[in-house]
Chain A
Amino acid sequence: MADLSVPIDVAPPVLSARNVDVSLNGTAILHAVGIDVSPGEVVALMGGNGSGKSTFVRALVGAVPLARGSVTLFGEPAGASPRSRIGYVPQRMSAGGGVAATVDEVVRSGLLGHRRLRGPRDARTRAKRALAQLGIEDLLGRDVSRLSGGQQQRVLIARALVRQPDILILDEPMAGVDLQSQVAFAHALGHLKENGVAVIIVLHELGALARHIDRSVVLDGGRVTYEGAPPNDLGIHALPGHEHEHAHEDPPSPARGGIVLEGPA
């Protein structure tokens, strides 16, 4: 069972993406993007608008197909079953339905998954607990479409947390969100980290979350251009037109100090 070639002190990655290419409507968006995330590690995915961050996380959760490359979750190829252990927070509440839905109903939908078409008996209690983690348990019976942007974002995070995920993947959870919601999420993030949950979070700036971020990966033009300690100044790497010859294929285990993965400009 034990694979002796793996050093004991390195936890196997929760998620590992290799050489991921994604094309949407015939346009290549991602080029050989790779990432590894270990238990309890918080990785910030950064880059300018159109750099491919959102497409990359959507590819990780199976919302867009890979043109090439692979995604491994918990040592298995990503499929419906291992995906049940992901908590995904999309960029915003789906403009979605023509029918009203309560916070309770939306959060409970997070309890479903592969071969789990019906929620558990204690769904309501669990939904309440997830909302309490973000300080919004009093919103339980409210119509989600009538909440503020920050409250909606916290509901989406609660919908992911109610799954008790082993990896949490968030797409710009802080964009346009009030400070109170940011602080509530930063608090919840600290707890998740302590409990060994791996986190990939798309961010424009580190902001209120800075102290929880272990590593940052910067995308530009669909390629990884930087990987390492959260940099203080990301300006140059996020600039459009900052071209790179190749992205690196086999990212090293998280190392402080930062490795700039750039070919000659």
Chain B
Amino acid sequence: MTLLADPLVQRMLLVGLLVGAAAPIVGTYLVQRRMALLGDGIGHVALAGVAAGWLAGSAAGLAQRDSLAVPGAVLFAVAGAVIIERMRARGAAADVVMAILFYGGIASGVLLIGLAGGSNANLLGYLFGSISTVAWADVWITATLAIVIVGVGLGLRGALFAVTHDQEFARSTGLPVELLNMMVAVLAAATITVAMRVVGVLLVSALMILPVAIAQRVTASFSRTMYVSMAVGATLTLTGIWITLTHDLQPGALIVVLGVGVYVAVTLALASRDRLRRGSES
């Protein structure tokens, strides 16, 4: 319990809780739209934003050269999300657009960080997360964005469900389909920049998708899937962070591996339950 008195531990757990609960909200809409990989595409673009922010920071001669990295990531992620959504709405193959953003994001990130006089090692914290260096300023940014994500994601659940479930019907009702689609994409961008700190760009999508994949196995309704996945997400991040306090492990990677483990365990448990039921019926 002495660990809990440490302000750094408090910050880590608070950020973990916020991100763990907020990310699956957006994840539910992405899975519903069968765009589970959107987060990866936006994440890679966010990395280019980190590097661009870094470049801008050193050009401006700021004392902390990475102080513009997160604003850069937000800007690039939102722009990337808007581009993907517009291309998708125009009927472009979403997977190809995302693939191009993947490569372009990573490659330009590496180039930009070099131009800024940094090394690829500077990018590692963003690639794999760096929650153990989280400051109070990060907590406030995370909290603000998490409140927006939760507020919009839950508050407009009916309309966002309608659009992701049956776009043609939603359009026939007069719902602003394009605006709502864009909102999901921008929420995804916000989630990614928030979650980047915890698990890193490479694993950011996992935090949105894994809890939903787990919740899907045990629920039969959209809203219950969303609530269960929020609880699963928060539990996973808190557990992962807690374990790394006493064991020298990488938190982001641990959280994701825990999630995959839970998914496999739940799937196996359900399969054997079904087999038992079938066995008792025959």
Q: Name A's B-contacting residues (CB within 8 A).
A: 58, 61-63, 79-84, 86, 88, 90, 93-94, 96-102, 104-106, 108-115, 117-119, 141-143, 159, 163, 169
Question: Is A94 touching B172 in the complex (CB atoms < 8 A)?
Answer: no
B interface residues (Cβ-Cβ under 8 A, vs A): 28, 31-34, 36, 155-156, 158-159, 161-162, 164-176, 212, 216, 219-223, 225
Q: How far is the CB of B171 from chain A (nearest CB, A)?
A: 5
- Cross-chain contact B158 with A117 (CB below 8 angstroms): yes
Most buried by B among A61, A94, A98, A118: A98
- Ordered by A's residue number, 22 sampled pairs between the chains whose C-beta atoms are within 8 Å are A80-B176, A82-B174, A90-B166, A96-B32, A96-B165, A97-B31, A97-B164, A98-B32, A99-B225, A100-B225, A101-B161, A101-B221, A102-B222, A105-B161, A105-B223, A108-B158, A109-B165, A111-B158, A112-B170, A119-B158, A141-B220, A159-B169
Evaluate contact between A143 and B220: CB separation under 8 angstroms: yes
Complex-state Cα separation, A142 to B155, whole angstroms:
24
Q: Which residues of B contact A82 (CB under 8 A)?
A: 174
Q: How far is the CA of A144 from the CA of B200 in the complex (A)?
A: 37
The minimal Cβ–Cβ distance linking A10 to chain B, given in whole angstroms, is 27
> B174–A83 contact, CB under 8 A?
yes
One of A97, A117, A119 near B34 (C-beta < 8 A): A97
Measured between beta carbons, the chain B residues less than 8 angstroms from A61 are: 168, 171-172
Residues B172 and A86 in contact, CB atoms below 8 Å apart: yes
Which partner residue on chain B sits nearest A109 by CB separation? B162
Contact of A105 among B171, B212, B222 (CB under 8 A): B222
Residue of A nearest to B159 (CB): A117
Alpha-carbon gap, A15 to B143, bound state (A): 49
Cross-chain contact A106 with B174 (CB below 8 angstroms)? no
Contact B222 A101 (CB under 8 A): yes
Partner of A63, one of B34, B161, B172, B176: B172
C-alpha gap A109/B166 in the complex (Å): 9
**Cross-chain contact A84 with B165 (CB below 8 angstroms):** no
Q: Which chain B positions have C-beta within 8 A of A114?
A: 173-176
With a 10 A CB-CB cut-off, give which of A101, A143, A163 has the most chain B CB atoms. Answer: A101
Measured between C-beta atoms, what is the minimum distance from A142 to chain B in Å?
8
Contact partner of B171 among A63, A109, A143, CB < 8 A? A63
Contact of A99 among B28, B167, B170 (CB under 8 A): B28
Cross-chain contact B221 with A100 (CB below 8 angstroms) = yes
* Residues on the A chain within 8 Å of B168, using CB: 58, 61, 63, 90, 94
Say whether B173 contacts A110, CB under 8 Å: yes
Lowest 9 CB-CB distances: which A-B pairs, in order? A114-B174, A61-B172, A88-B172, A109-B162, A80-B174, A97-B32, A83-B174, A143-B220, A94-B166
Other-chain residue from A86, A97, A106, A163 in contact with B33 (beta carbon distance below 8 A): A97
Closest to A102 in B: B221
B32 neighbours in A (Cβ, 8 Å): 96-99
Known: A109-B166, A118-B158, A118-B159. A99 touches B216 (CB 8 A): yes
